[in-house]
């Protein structure tokens, strides 16, 4: 049974200062409920909206980066529906004349590159937030926080071209990377990106799963829903068009209501906002577009001589890419890429931190200094890892950590002397080596490492011992 998936992605333009149609601050996270509100975002009678020009510019920047056809003429409309988090009884959105049509995002699947085509991108205001006492299906009441009401929102609607939950997650990951490159969006903030997923299985109706708050949640919700629909079809039952909710606690979808049609929203132009003629804005924004992930990936390969594998990983996070370039100013770029991708990134992930944390705890100039010690043979790989972990967990100066923990590498002459002593003391292992048991060499290396408390380089130590034995 073929699967068809389309996504509606709601993206907060949360790097701005004020809301879409009023001067209230959008920096509401962590504050008391209903403290970032005014008559406009509370929908009070007679309150008049004023369009945020910076929000329109941010939306245009996103549309251009997504290869969409930005419209020089756009209109805001009223989308009418009644829900507690929408105090006016309608949402200011766009319908016939949106911000942009078309566009695409390229993802890398196991079969190769695939273009996820977009249908449209439009701007709207975010509703408030409902908090349920329990789950959405069992709560006896809910509370409303209007701090989020009126936050600038982009809705990015894809064509139904995705064939699996994994493709949907790859698309969302790529979209988030692009948005963070544009510096209009912070994906770490609660509610920054929410997804409505439309899914149908061949022979059944289309089902919409509303307000999924995580990429992992999208994949789980789609996986469950596809299985549910296939089972219904196999049993000869009808998959009806409806809107469902993803219960994250139980990893299931539950029915909310029958699916709304566009005519149910009774769109009509917002009478309190004039149409937007955006030709000059589009040209202005074009001049501010930054280097995008694919461009940066190609430049990293050419400028720094990195493998495509390293370049691909580095550009997945703009903060990681910037960190790498800061370190590569004074250190061999290939060495920097290897340590940042293979070690530092893993240590940050283990601590559930990102490269913002790295900039605070292990500044690029400190990482450069540490890698120079390694390049000069003054500290081993194990020592570098130990310093990185200490810096992330405790802090301190690089030189002091190396001295306090005794991590400076032992001079080669001392290593050679220790190697001869180990060979002399471990005749059985030496005999095993001559008998063709190559693991005996590893044992001898381990004895040197033990004696030096890991301060010797294992590879160099193995070479020295092998040289002694072969003589």
pLDDT (tens digit per residue) in 76-116:
999 998 888 898 999 999 999 999 999 999 999 988 899 99
pTM: 0.85
Per DSSP, 259 falls in state: P
User: Rounded CA gap, 381 and 355, in Å?
Assistant: 21
pLDDT at 409: 74
In this prediction, residues 160-174 reach a mean pLDDT of 96
Contact 432, 469 (CB under 8 A): no
Partners of residue 197 on adjacent β-strands = 7, 209
Contact 439, 418 (CB under 8 A): no
24 plus 93 within the same structural domain: yes
301 plus 268 within the same structural domain: no
Pairwise pLDDT comparison (470 vs 142), residue with the higher score = 142
CA distances from 435 to 337, 430, 439 (A): 41, 9, 11
pLDDT at 310: 97
In this prediction, residues 443-455 reach a mean pLDDT of 82
pLDDT at 137: 67
pLDDT digits (tens, 9 = 90+) for 338-384: 999 999 999 999 999 999 999 999 999 999 999 999 998 888 888 99
DSSP notation for 99-164: SEE--EEEEEETTEEEEEEEEEEEEEE---EEEESS-TTT-S-EEEEGGGTT-EEEEEEE-S-B-S
With vertex at residue 209, the alpha carbon angle to CA 207 and CA 215, rounded to the nearest 5 degrees, is 130
Is 281 in a helix, a strand, or coil? helix
Q: What are phi and psi of 221, to 5 degrees?
A: -65, -45
315 plus 251 within the same structural domain: no
Last residue in a domain, options 234, 267, 285: 285
**For 356-392, what is the HEC assignment?**
HHHHHHCCHHHHHHHHHHHHCCCECHHHHHHHHHHHH
129 plus 12 within the same structural domain: yes
- 9-41 per-residue burial string, b: 16 or more CB within 10 A, e: under 16: bbbbbbbbebbbbbebebebeeeebeebbeebb
pLDDT at 261: 67
In this prediction, residues 416-424 reach a mean pLDDT of 86
The yes-or-no verdict on residue 45 having pLDDT over 70 is yes
116 plus 212 within the same structural domain: yes
CATH number at residue 454: 1.10.10.410
Last residue in a domain, options 228, 254, 285: 285
State the greatest distance between any 2 C-alpha atoms of the chain, in Å, as a whole number: 95
451 plus 320 within the same structural domain: no
Last residue in a domain, options 378, 404, 430: 404
Token output for 88: 């006016």
399 plus 451 within the same structural domain: no
Q: Which of 145, 143, 123, 121 lies closest to 133, judged by CA?
A: 143
220 plus 297 within the same structural domain: no
pLDDT at 260: 62
228 plus 327 within the same structural domain: no
334 plus 275 within the same structural domain: no
Contact 275, 94 (CB under 8 A): no
pLDDT at 154: 97
Contact 198, 8 (CB under 8 A): yes
Q: Of 182-191, 228-237, 274-283, 406-415, where does mean pLDDT reach its minimum?
A: 406-415
Q: Which of 334, 413, 341 lies closest to 374, judged by CA?
A: 334
User: Rounded CA gap, 219 and 234, in Å?
Assistant: 23
Q: At 406, is the pLDDT very low, low, confident or very high (cuts 50, 70, 90)?
A: confident
Looking at mean pLDDT, say which of 198-202, 333-337, 379-383, 444-448 comes out highest. Answer: 333-337
Place of tokens 């009223």: 78
pLDDT digits (tens, 9 = 90+) for 239-288: 989 999 998 888 899 988 776 667 778 999 999 999 999 999 999 999 99
pLDDT at 227: 94
Mean pLDDT of the residues in the chain = 92
In this prediction, residues 427-440 reach a mean pLDDT of 84
Per DSSP, 262 falls in state: G
pLDDT digits (tens, 9 = 90+) for 451-461: 877 777 787 78
User: Rounded CA gap, 396 and 386, in Å?
Assistant: 13
User: Rounded CA gap, 244 and 236, in Å?
Assistant: 21
Is 323 in a helix, a strand, or coil? helix
What angle do the packed helices 53-65 and 279-286 form, to 10 degrees?
60
pLDDT digits (tens, 9 = 90+) for 19-41: 999 999 999 998 999 999 999 99
192 plus 340 within the same structural domain: no
- 278-311 per-residue burial string, b: 16 or more CB within 10 A, e: under 16: beebbeebeeeeeeebeebbeebeeebebeeebb
164 plus 107 within the same structural domain: yes
Any idea how long the chain is?
471
Q: Of 191-205, 245-259, 293-307, 386-400, where does mean pLDDT reach its minimum?
A: 245-259
Q: What percent of the chain stands above pLDDT 70?
A: 99
Count of structural domains within the chain: 3
Q: At 450, is the pLDDT very low, low, confident or very high (cuts 50, 70, 90)?
A: confident
Contact 392, 359 (CB under 8 A): no
In this prediction, residues 134-142 reach a mean pLDDT of 75
Looking at mean pLDDT, say which of 84-93, 139-148, 231-240, 335-344 comes out highest. Answer: 335-344
Rg (CA), the chain: 29
Domain that holds residue 427: 412-470
The yes-or-no verdict on residue 407 having pLDDT over 70 is yes
pLDDT at 277: 97
């Amino acid at each position: 049974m073929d699967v068809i998936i389309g996504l509606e992605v709601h993206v907060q333009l949360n790097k701005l200062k004020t809301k879409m149609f009023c001067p209230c601050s959008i920096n509401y996270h962590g504050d008391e409920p209903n403290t970032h509100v005014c008559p406009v975002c509370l929908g009070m009678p007679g309150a008049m909206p004023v369009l945020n020009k910076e929000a329109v510019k941010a939306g245009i920047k996103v549309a251009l980066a997504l290869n969409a056809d930005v419209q020089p003429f756009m209109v805001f409309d009223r989308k009418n529906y009644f829900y507690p988090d929408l105090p006016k009884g309608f949402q200011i959105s766009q319908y016939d004349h949106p911000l942009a049509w078309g566009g695409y995002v390229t993802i890398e699947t196991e079969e190769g590159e695939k273009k996820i085509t977009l249908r449209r991108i439009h701007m709207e205001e975010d509703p408030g937030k409902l908090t349920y006492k329990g789950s959405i299906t069992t709560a006896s009441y809910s509370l409303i926080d209007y701090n989020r009401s009126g936050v600038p929102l982009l809705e990015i609607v894809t064509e139904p071209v995705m064939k699996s939950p994994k493709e949907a997650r790859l698309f969302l990951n790529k979209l988030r990377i692009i948005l963070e490159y544009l510096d209009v969006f912070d994906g770490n903030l609660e509610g920054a990106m929410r997804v409505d997923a439309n899914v149908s299985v061949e022979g059944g109706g289309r089902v919409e799963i509303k307000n999924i708050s995580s990429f992992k949640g999208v994949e789980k919700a789609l996986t469950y829903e596809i299985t549910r629909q296939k089972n219904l079809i196999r049993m000869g039952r009808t998959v009806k068009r409806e809107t469902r909710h993803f219960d994250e606690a139980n990893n299931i979808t539950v029915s909310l209501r029958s699916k709304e049609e566009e005519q149910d929203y009774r769109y009509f132009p917002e009478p309190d906002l004039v149409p937007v003629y955006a030709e000059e804005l589009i040209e202005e924004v074009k001049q501010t577009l930054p280097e995008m992930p694919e461009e940066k990936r190609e430049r990293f390969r050419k400028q720094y001589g990195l493998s495509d594998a390293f370049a691909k990983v580095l550009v997945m996070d703009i903060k990681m890419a910037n960190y790498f370039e800061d370190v590569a100013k004074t250190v061999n770029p290939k060495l920097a890429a290897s340590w940042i991708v293979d070690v530092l990134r893993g240590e940050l992930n283990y601590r559930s931190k990102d490269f913002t944390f790295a900039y605070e705890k292990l500044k690029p100039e400190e990482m450069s200094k540490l890698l120079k010690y390694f390049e000069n043979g003054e500290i081993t790989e194990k020592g570098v890892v130990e310093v990185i972990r200490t810096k992330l967990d405790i802090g301190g100066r690089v030189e002091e950590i190396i001295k306090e923990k005794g991590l400076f590498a032992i001079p080669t002459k001392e290593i050679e002397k220790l190697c001869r002593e180990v060979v002399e003391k471990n005749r059985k292992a030496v005999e095993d080596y001559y008998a063709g048991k190559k693991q005996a060499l590893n044992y001898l290396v381990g004895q040197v490492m033990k004696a030096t408390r890991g301060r010797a380089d294992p590879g160099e130590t193995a070479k020295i011992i092998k040289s002694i034995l072969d003589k």
